[in-house]
Structure 1
Amino acid sequence: MRVIILAAGQGTRLRPYTNDKPKCMVELCGKSLVDYQLDAFKVAGVTDITLVAGYQEDKLVRKGVKKILNPDYAITNMVSTLMCAKKLFDGSSDVLITYGDIVYEQRILDAILAAKADICLTIDKEWKRLWSLRMENPLDDAETLKLEGDLIKELGKKANSYDEIQGQYMGLIKVSADKARELVKTWEGMDRNADYDGKDFNNMYLTSFLQHLINLGWPVKAVSVESGWLEIDTVEDLNFFNETLKEGMFDLFNCGA
């Protein structure tokens, strides 16, 4: 198993906490977001880990963890960052892709590592609980995710009703060794001048790329979980989870005051 952590972004919505460090190094209950992930990988016995860094990359150094740079981090988005590491999709190993600003319990990681599929991703079936804690109206932020059985047919669009959300994308994806090379070739064959959910090619979201694969007929499997994770997008998220985790209001980690 090979892991790629996407950690190039500037985290502008987390300023001033990201003024001098990458988003993934912001601390939650005294521990950086990326270190929660690295600890989970250690427990799972996963040692082949690469960080794709950009903003404040000199601050992002971890023993035994490789680093690849996205020199264009300021003008590109997730997929471009991922493809800075395309050499790792050589077909010799399954590849796990994870956002750098999420934190998850061990059981979440174990679930996707155990899943058998060409490409799969975790979805939170209890997503509304987390979104309701973070914001007054979850529909303002949550995106569509539609299933047929355990296969995802749509994701990443603006949701108009809860009926369009059968789970929430979490930013944790696994690609099999057999499909790794094809994934990169598919990206290389995409129209550089097309519009991808309102973004140009270099700034497309990872959900847009996944939807492109689905539209091409790739069977993208959902690995369903219930809660046990969080994402830190804003200062409000950080302050909220720092307080609720310490107070035991949100039972995710042992994060006592």
Structure 2
Amino acid sequence: MTRAIILAAGRGSRMGALTAEQPKCFTRLHGRRLLDWQLTALRGAGITDIAIVRGYCADRFDEPVHYFDNPHWAETNMVRTLAEAADWLRAGPCIVSYSDIFYSAETVRRLAACTDELAISYDPDWLQVWQKRFADPLADAETFRRHADGTLAEIGARSDSVDAIEGQYMGLLKLTPPGWVRIEALLAEQGAAADKLDMTSLLRHGLARGWRIGTVPVAGPWGEVDSADDLAAYAQVSFDHVAD
């Protein structure tokens, strides 16, 4: 049975006053917290066993889910937060979600159905989203290229051409126990440097080691919230099918 892990340890300082006294995933979009949209999509996809990895403002969480904690959230990055849920990652397949995104249940279902040991969701029509969020989409967008068989070929570098970017990683991925074993081995090699490793850097290290990483296109609405401006950018997004 597939479980889900939401990575919610960081503060999200770019949100300013919106996260001064609450976790980033408590930010409201269309009247509901980002966390509520995530839980709705995950449960809509049939996932009932859900964990949240807490850190900043950990005492604010009261959802009836399982909890892991990253007590060093202020000094570490996303991958160390993920490692706090290692018990689940070793035990069975897990959908792993950033806490500052929203997405549909159908995207979760597609990702869960992917047979690769490690797979990520992505948006092939990313430019429409990035043009709403940024005056210059290339100021934030990163390279994303796939092999002919649909597996990941490149991710996480800067690009000076929109046409050279085939999509954008969404912050939603699937890990199986064999995939997690590879990640744990990489973290052991990295030593203390692993504390600062972000997810796209991890994926890039994996590609350099020959990992096969599946890619699954998004279905339905999705977005990433990094600033108050992003909330305004998504004001016209329909959330009618998040649970479908």
Give the TM-score range, shorter chain.
over 0.9
Unaligned runs of 5+ residues in structure 2 are none
SS of 1:3 mapped into structure 2: strand
Say which structure, 1 or 2, has more relative contact order (CA 8 Å, 6+ apart). Answer: 2
The 5-angstrom pairing of residues 165-176 of structure 1 reads 165-176=165-176
How many residues align? The count is: 240
Alignment check: 8 A CA contact 2:156 2:200 kept? yes
Partner letter of residue 185 of structure 1?
A: A
Corresponding position of 1:228: 221
Corresponding position of 1:211: 204
CA displacement 1:37-93 (0-9 Å, x = unmatched): 111122222112111110001002201x11111111111110111112222222x31
Structure 1 residues 235, 127: CA separation in 2 closer, same or farther (over 3 Å shift)? Answer: same
**C-alpha deviation, 1:186, in angstroms:** 2.7
Partner letter of residue 48 of structure 2?
A: T
Deviates more, 1:17-26 or 1:169-178: 169-178
Distance 2:80 2:159 in 1: 25
Distance 1:251 1:213 in 2: 35
Corresponding position of 1:97: 96
**C-alpha deviation, 1:191, in angstroms:** 4.7
Corresponding position of 1:75: 75
**C-alpha deviation, 1:215, in angstroms:** 0.9
**C-alpha deviation, 1:202, in angstroms:** 1.2
SS of 1:222 mapped into structure 2: strand
**C-alpha deviation, 1:106, in angstroms:** 1.9
Partner letter of residue 77 of structure 2?
A: N
Q: TM-score, normalised by structure 2?
A: 0.92
Deviates more, 1:182-191 or 1:164-173: 182-191
**C-alpha deviation, 1:17, in angstroms:** 1.1
Corresponding position of 2:190: 190
Distance 1:29 1:106 in 2: 18
Q: TM-score, normalised by structure 1?
A: 0.88
* Residues 1:30 and 2:17 aligned together: no
Corresponding position of 1:47: 48
CA displacement 1:87-130 (0-9 Å, x = unmatched): 2222x311211100000122211211121111110110000000
Distance 1:173 1:105 in 2: 14
Alignment check: 8 A CA contact 2:106 2:219 kept? no
**C-alpha deviation, 1:185, in angstroms:** 2.6
Identity among equivalent positions (%) equals: 33
Alignment check: 8 A CA contact 2:97 2:171 kept? yes
**C-alpha deviation, 1:15, in angstroms:** 1.9
What is the Cα-based RMSD across aligned positions, in Å? 1.7
Corresponding position of 1:195: none
